[in-house]
Chains A and B, each alone.
Chain A
């Protein structure tokens, strides 16, 4: 148990430190902007009094440390400031759109994992001992190409084939279940093939190990050798890299949402960067950052459960 307590303490410590860096970076962003963010948002023609009143309302004239403390205190009460374009609280804007983004990213991650693990395992089992070299080469090349295509190009390609040419699925928007298919696929295909390749390589490595020879020496059925002895060992590395992938999936939603006019945070952040609505940008950046940190945390915990050595190994 001691090991677990230490793991939890260390991991929480890292999370808190990362959160602090993230929050401070989000705060610093507003102050690293060239010029006055309020003037930038309201435009060069806005009267000076309005700019000054808005600056005062946002507390931008207070000493920096006071603003920082005020910002931190606001975060604890869920106050992310007020949008400069709509005048709505940023937290309301985010909560209205967060769900759509989480749905898309979550579904895409599930699809990627559900596809990649069986495909990668199967490939490893089929090509082990250097058999079926042709099929192996075809799989590897195809997966390299598919993984290089970024999500938004994949999205454009899918729209072209399935919406424009075949007319099977809607071109954009979020309505019925069929509107989910293309966005989720666009987001999942690349990561699925990256993961499948990792699973394949890891499985091939595990199949060479001494403990797999032990399992074969016990004359277990092949199914048991592959699924119960090889796969869990192959998955530990897969999980570590899968976590990074989950993080990049969060980023990928920004682009895919913009292709499909998906009512999520991706549209919000791009729109507010272009409109110079900095409080909203600040809030959304924070949410994305937290999403990535939570994804990493989830992977570390899953890793610790699957392979308890990882709790000791890392230091």
Chain B
């Protein structure tokens, strides 16, 4: 019961109460409800009659309680009918073959468009006024909805492999339906039916209230409500108690259904505390770079219960291209977002230093840096398909940058946008600017994103896996474009990728990240031959090149990246490292600086050749 929460438990309790009343109330209160007392008509609430009496002196509360059976019973009957009719209609589209199925589907779609009360009125005319007519009317009125749901559900099931297998095995359509499809959609249908029973209770009350449902001398809540409304001035309790009963019963059904649906469909939301105070930097302070465009020291990013970036330090000069490389989950993208101040709560960013163009970006007041970041920092994100606003014209999304930050007029901004689009080699830029993102190809969208970045005059471009989501053929164009802009405009480039080869080609310096830390910082030229950290060497060795022996299996790094929630005490790479010793497993190595390069490994002095050999040893 616990997983349904207090709301679920109270909903179930209410539902049990409603069903119990429906079963037992007439046995207990029937006499009281029918006892006419001319001496006691239309009395207000009293000890003898908690909700007063009606125009014939009958006890209102007893009548409402007794009416539970008819109200809920008829609603359940109508729902059952609706489910049955809906199942037959909805699954028949799968059984009857394509042509007939499509016609039925179209009819269902048309019927669903009409509110069920209108359908119920329509059927009430055909089946006649009265309880039987109302049950049929409400049942048939809800059928299209169930049919649509059954149709959608069985269509999903029908696409599954085991149905194809049954079909190939020669199992007939009807048998497939009964044996395979129905059991698989039963859960969802039961939940939907529970919710629908609540709505049927309301619908039934509506019809009876209008005088089209239960007829005198029988009475359900809707009838009591209609009768009570006549006396609402003298004796409001009559209408209000019946109304309350309808709402409570409907809510009991609705909420129970919703709660079960949610409990089945949703995983528990994880909670946790923030990962504690940020630990001190595990690296010596960076040597001051006098003309640094970007200087970061001991940058940490934490989310409740986890600290995915654990102290990153880097600096970047104008015109320089620095790459960050690492597996997914190594914290490289979060590092980029943190530098750009785009981490949102509950994420928290701390740093001993975070300065861009000489300005300190730390602190909560991001607004203070709005203009600086908006004009001097450009971001290019991983997935161009989702990074542009789908309902705004591309040109407008570009123009917005200078409209906001430079106060450019609409016209100037648009012209600039067209100019920038052609600068990123989008053909026919004037026409393209007026288009929406979905009219662009993936490569064009990424170029448009870059164009957006160069609307103002950026000093730094942060590109977070800009080509990962693109076709191989257009990857090269986008990389070339970034390279050209960097060279021509003397812009710094922070290039993030999991592809060590691309980073090696694009950047002069490479930072290798593992489990939220930089483990090595080296010139791109040293990447192939002179990497010191075993992880870097393994990354390089895992990339096949022209000399790779094709008869051997491709080299892989054994093991998995560690879970940032549960890091080993020493070096995070130790469990996967062929060189790991006891020291590695207990002490996290600092990122130590040697002649302009940095490496965090206790064994950085081992000969580079050793590692690939060790990796191959793992393979066999």
Chain A residues near B (Cβ < 8 Å): 17-18, 21, 25, 29, 32-34, 129-131, 141, 144-145, 148-150, 152-153, 156-157, 159-160, 164, 171, 209-211, 213-221, 224, 228-229, 232-233, 236, 247-248, 250-252, 254-255, 258-259, 269-270, 273-274, 278, 281, 285, 288-289, 292-293, 296, 306-309, 312
Contacts and interface: CB of A to CB of B under 8 A. Distances in A.
B126 A211 contact: no
B247 A153 contact: yes
Contacts of B239: 156, 160
B198 to A, nearest CB: 8
Contacts of B389: 211, 214-215, 229, 233
A156 B240 contact: yes
Interface string B57-83: 000000000000000000000000000
Nearest to B401: A218
A273 B114 contact: no
Contacts of A34: 128
Contact of B209 (A164, A220, A255): A255
Given A281-B125, A292-B115, A308-B391, 13 more contacts: A32-B126, A130-B346, A141-B7, A153-B246, A164-B233, A211-B390, A221-B404, A229-B392, A247-B113, A251-B118, A254-B121, A273-B125, A292-B113
A220 to B, nearest CB: 5
B212 interface: yes
Q: By DSSP majority rule, is chain B's interface helix, strand, loop, or mixed?
A: helix
* From A129, A150, A159, residue with most partner B Cβ within 10 Å: A150
6 smallest A-B Cβ distances: which pairs?
A219-B374, A251-B115, A251-B117, A210-B386, A129-B345, A248-B115
A255 B225 CA distance: 12
B15 interface: no
Contacts of B601: none
6 contacts: A153-B246, A210-B381, A247-B114, A248-B115, A273-B124, A292-B118
A17 B110 contact: yes
B212 A273 contact: yes
A270 B405 contact: no
Contacts of B477: none
A293 B114 CA distance: 8
Contacts of B340: 217
Contacts of B116: 251
B518 to A, nearest CB: 24
A269 B251 CA distance: 29
Contacts of A312: 438
Nearest to A157: B243
Interface string B375-406: 00001010100111111100001001100110
Given A149-B247, A156-B225, A247-B113, A214 B387 contact: yes
A254 B113 contact: no
Contacts of B379: 214, 217
B106 interface: yes
B129 A29 contact: no
B562 to A, nearest CB: 27
A150 B199 CA distance: 9
A194 to B, nearest CB: 12
B206 A255 contact: yes
Nearest to A282: B125
B250 interface: yes
B122 A29 contact: yes
Nearest to A26: B122
Nearest to A308: B436
A274 B124 CA distance: 10
Contacts of B390: 211, 233, 307, 309
B452 interface: yes
A44 to B, nearest CB: 15
A164 B401 contact: no
Nearest to A153: B243
A312 B115 CA distance: 27
A311 B371 CA distance: 38
